[in-house]
Amino acid sequence: MKGCLRFRAEMLQKAFLFFVATLAAGCACTAAHGGEAPFIREDFADLSAWKEVFFPKINRHTLYGIERAGADSYLAAKSEASASLIVFKRPFDVYEYSKVRFRWKISNTYAKADPRKKEGDDYPIRVYIAFQYEPEKASMLERAMYSAAKLVYGEYPPLRSLNYVWASRPEKERTIVSTYTDRSVMILLEAGAEKAGQWVEEEVDILTDYRKAFGKPPPRLATIGIMNDSDNTGERSTSYMDYIEVFK
């Protein structure tokens, strides 16, 4: 059990903080109603629907704010040897709303980034999907590990996560397992600096990507976040999100 505690403390700490932030917001886990309306359509006029999450032992935090150009507004995430993220306050049902669409841009990539090393585990921007742990479906070993984590943190960490990232360099694989835990997978939507300074449209299917990454269907509830981190490489960048949408 002590080994499980150490494993959870090291491997699930960031994922847990992401998930517990949504619980602290006290928002209901209900989807949008009526027609084909998306669960989320965020155009970043402000950040009232989002909550910032900080990590223990990381004193420098990424700065998230709204920038405007005429009638347009967008999220700016400025990281300088720092890390923190923002999360949408309401979880959503991935079987009802399985697709995510967004438009992002980066100023630059990180020269020392390497997705296969902890000291290089930084991305100028990522969209983070954390899936809720379901104790009734867990194995005996999983229940023991998550119960141990709950004793430490007061709530269950998420079961697994998908990270849609803009990587700093091209890689042979589109999907890379996190250097911290095999319960978190990086999916490279963009790689390298060729499109830096340009707006790029993306669309992903959460259900399809989860099944490919983990070989099984996901839990029903998930939360979504946005992050620019450079705490491992010690570098700096500014990234932008024009809009993000979670829809059917």
Q: Tell me, yes or no, whether 204 lies in a domain.
A: yes
What share of the chain has pLDDT > 70, as a percent?
A: 85
Q: Could you give the C-alpha distances from 184 to 71, 132, 162, in angstroms and in order? A: 38, 13, 6
Q: Tell me, yes or no, whether 150 lies in a domain.
A: no
Tally Cβ neighbours within 10 Å of residue 65: 11
pLDDT in tens, 152-163: 767 777 899 999
Question: Which CATH number goes with the domain that contains 172?
Answer: 2.60.120
Q: Tell me, yes or no, whether 44 lies in a domain.
A: yes
Q: Tell me, yes or no, whether 95 lies in a domain.
A: yes
Name the least confident of 63-67, 146-150, 161-165: 146-150
Q: Tell me, yes or no, whether 61 lies in a domain.
A: yes
Return mean pLDDT, the chain: 88
pLDDT at 20 (0 to 100): 46
Q: How confident is the model at residue 34 (pLDDT cuts 50, 70, 90)?
A: very low
Q: Tell me, yes or no, whether 146 lies in a domain.
A: no
**Rounded to two decimals, what is the model's pTM?**
0.84
CA atoms within 13 A on the CB side of 30: 6
Q: Tell me, yes or no, whether 18 lies in a domain.
A: no
Domains of the chain: total: 1
